[in-house]
């Protein structure tokens, strides 16, 4: 396993390069996140792997979620999309362990990674080195890449096409480059993996879209209207968010549009 000893922010799970000496996390200092009352807290890979392990679960054929147990940092899941021309890892979790490497290798490896927004950049440098794959990020967020590594490829504009009809689509809102991954062929009309570009409520009847979720900072109405127009133009019937419960497999587009209409 390829391991580095860069320190990891205990609040958001972002890994910094070896030799990073500052006692602040760029992600947590940003007004979309927060530094805990007790101040900046750090951990490292050895501590993390001693206290946590990865868990893989099949959501449906060709779609797997990867979580850490017990929860760490923000607690987002990563999603592995299996596809004929190559697998894509969507979003990222802050730990890789041997059972996870073995699972991913037998599933066909990772041809590319794409990440919805900076809160989940996590230890992408370690993942991309381990699986020798590029990491596709929007150029708008390059200042948030605290550990560039050797595998980043920035995309510009409205999105980036992969293969087998898979496309990362820039939505904006939470971050200027907040995006969703649209996957064809695993549901009738298209599947969106949305990170927290949209946050599906526990009732699964409402999506929220915010500048900051933990700090409850809303977006301007005109921005929600722009996002609504964009979402109306996309074909999809399923949405998978960043928590394990956020699987909406029925009428996802109408739930999305009705949710956005409530803001206006």
List of residues contacting Zn ion (CB under 5 A): 9, 11-12, 14, 25, 27-28, 119, 196
CB nearer Zn ion, residue 41 or residue 229 = 41
- Name, in order, each residue with C-beta under 8 angstroms of 123's C-beta and a sequence gap of 6 or more: 6, 8, 13, 14, 15, 92, 94, 95, 96, 147
d(CA 136, CA 86): 15
CB nearer Zn ion, residue 40 or residue 82 = 40
Closest CB 227 distance from Zn ion, rounded Å: 15
* Cβ(93)–Cβ(68) below 8 Å: yes
- Which two structure tokens, joined as six digits, stand for 156? 């510009």
d(CA 228, CA 260): 6
Closest CB 102 distance from Zn ion, rounded Å: 30
Closest CB 140 distance from Zn ion, rounded Å: 15
CB nearer Zn ion, residue 83 or residue 246 = 246
Closest CB 179 distance from Zn ion, rounded Å: 12
d(CA 164, CA 82): 10
* Cβ(153)–Cβ(133) below 8 Å: no
Closest CB 141 distance from Zn ion, rounded Å: 11
d(CA 84, CA 210): 35
CB nearer Zn ion, residue 28 or residue 63 = 28
CB nearer Zn ion, residue 136 or residue 198 = 198
């Amino acid at each position: 396993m390829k391991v580095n000893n860069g320190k990891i922010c205990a609040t958001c799970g972002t890994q910094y390069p070896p030799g990073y000496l500052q006692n602040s996390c760029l992600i947590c200092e940003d007004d979309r996140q927060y530094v805990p009352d007790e101040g900046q807290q750090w951990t490292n890979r050895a501590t993390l792997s001693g206290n946590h392990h990865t868990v893989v679960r099949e959501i449906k054929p060709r779609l797997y979620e990867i979580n850490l147990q017990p929860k760490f940092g923000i607690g987002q899941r990563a999603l592995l999309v299996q596809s004929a021309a190559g697998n894509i890892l969507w979003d990222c979790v802050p730990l890789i362990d041997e059972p996870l490497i073995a699972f991913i290798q037998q599933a066909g490896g990772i041809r590319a990674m794409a990440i919805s927004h900076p809160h989940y950049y996590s230890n992408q440098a370690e993942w991309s080195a381990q699986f020798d794959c590029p990491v596709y990020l929007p150029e708008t967020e390059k200042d948030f890449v605290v550990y560039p590594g050797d595998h980043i490829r920035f995309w510009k504009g409205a999105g980036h096409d992969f293969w087998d009809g898979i496309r990362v689509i820039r939505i904006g809102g939470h971050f200027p480059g907040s995006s969703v991954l649209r996957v064809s062929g695993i549901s009738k009309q298209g599947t969106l993996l949305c990170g927290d570009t949209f946050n599906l409520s526990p009732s699964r009847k409402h999506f929220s879209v915010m500048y900051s979720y933990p700090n409850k900072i809303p977006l301007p109405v005109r921005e929600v209207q722009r996002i609504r127009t964009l979402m109306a133009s996309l074909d999809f019937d399923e949405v998978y968010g960043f928590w394990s419960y956020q699987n909406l497999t029925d009428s996802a587009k109408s739930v999305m549009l009705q949710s956005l209409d409530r803001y206006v």
